[in-house]
């Protein structure tokens, strides 16, 4: 007996036309319904920051696919069904982009490019003593799928790296610590701290003055994860006081970053508009289509979100 075509609802907050065209190519036999023209029920939902009304109007039977790395916006919806698996993208081309962004920030700090730029503006020829790379340790908070690629990029340049995650272990010869004691040790060692954590009830506003001040004086912070991980006023205070040397920020509590925010013009802050890793539509669609095919064969799909943990 031939199975009838699956019904899919698509609600993408950006690039909706590109997503639709790509899914129609990848799933030619599926019936794809684009928000707001959705049926009362469908097998799958493919979403990125969908409206609250979507799940109130359309019951999803099999799985909800999040078309991005972060699931915090999706999990915050009050209408999200709790008995339907939520499946996230796994890398889909984002990890290497994040590794490029972090490497750029690390090299900018380690090779003191801001100081040389200031010397150029002042027409001063001032060679600086090279920093000791063995003492320029990079701490990664979060060593998942994306963090592991960042680790490889930094180790390829011989930077010492230490990680912090929910469980002890190692990644490519890098020690990964866990727990409160592990977090304190990572902060103590890190000349540069890179945030790669998901935004959950446990991690929201986690990086406050108490934790950030445990970094060595002159340390740098890079946030490519989620803005709400950091208490922005505490970060600004530590930058103003000179305890922190710089912050490279791609994500913020409020996005777009308000024009009046101090980050825009702070001499120790680099701002980018949430561009550390763009979701690659075709790569992402191929991954989602493969997972749908696996589910239709009765197999398990990887990337299922633990809703209780928030990632």
Angle at 164 between CA 90 and CA 87, to 5 degrees: 20
Burial degree of 221 (CB within 10 A; 0-12, 13-18, 19+): buried
Question: Is residue 226 among the annotated active site residues?
Answer: yes
SS3 state at 130: coil
* Residue 7 CB neighbours (<10 A): 20
Tell me the DSSP string of 4-34: PPPEEEEEESS-HHHHHHHHHHH-TTSEEEE
- Which of the following is catalytic: 129, 204, 274, 309? 274
266 is catalytic: no
Hey, which residues does 66 pair with through a beta bridge?
Answer: 47
141 burial (CB, 10 Å; 0-12 / 13-18 / 19+) is: buried
Selecting among 137, 148, 220, 226, the annotated active-site residue is 226
> What ranges in the chain are assigned the alpha helix state H?
16-26, 53-57, 72-75, 94-110, 113-121, 145-156, 179-189, 209-212, 232-240, 281-296
Show which residues are catalytic: 226, 274
């Amino acid at each position: 007996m031939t199975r009838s075509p699956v019904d899919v609802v698509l609600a993408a907050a950006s690039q909706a036309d590109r997503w639709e065209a790509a899914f129609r190519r990848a799933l030619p036999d599926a019936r794809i319904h684009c928000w707001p023209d959705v049926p009362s029920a469908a097998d799958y939902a493919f979403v990125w920051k969908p409206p609250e009304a979507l799940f109130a109007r359309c019951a999803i039977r099999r799985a909800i696919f999040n078309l991005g790395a972060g699931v915090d916006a999706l999990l915050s919806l009050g209408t999200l069904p709790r008995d339907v698996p939520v499946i996230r993208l796994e890398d889909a081309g984002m990890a290497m982009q994040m590794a490029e962004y972090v490497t750029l920030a690390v090299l900018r700090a380690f090779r003191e490019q801001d100081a040389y730029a200031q010397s150029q503006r002042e027409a001063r020829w001032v060679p600086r003593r090279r920093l000791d790379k063995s003492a320029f340790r990079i701490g990664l908070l979060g060593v998942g799928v994306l963090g592991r690629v960042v680790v490889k990029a930094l180790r390829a340049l011989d930077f010492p790296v230490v990680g912090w995650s929910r469980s002890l272990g190692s990644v490519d010869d890098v020690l990964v610590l866990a727990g409160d004691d592990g977090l304190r040790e990572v902060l103590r060692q890190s000349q540069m701290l890179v945030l790669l954590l998901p935004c959950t009830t446990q991690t929201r506003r986690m990086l406050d003055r108490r934790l950030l001040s445990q970094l060595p004086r002159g340390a740098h912070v890079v946030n490519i994860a989620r803005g709400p991980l950091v208490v922005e006023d505490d970060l600004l205070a530590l930058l103003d006081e000179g305890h922190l040397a710089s912050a490279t920020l791609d994500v913020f509590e409020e996005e777009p970053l308000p024009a009046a925010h101090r980050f825009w013009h702070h001499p120790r802050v680099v701002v980018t508009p949430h561009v550390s890793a763009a979701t690659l539509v075709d790569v992402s669609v191929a991954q989602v289509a493969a997972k749908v095919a696996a589910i239709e064969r009765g197999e398990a799909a990887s990337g299922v979100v633990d809703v209780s943990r928030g990632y």
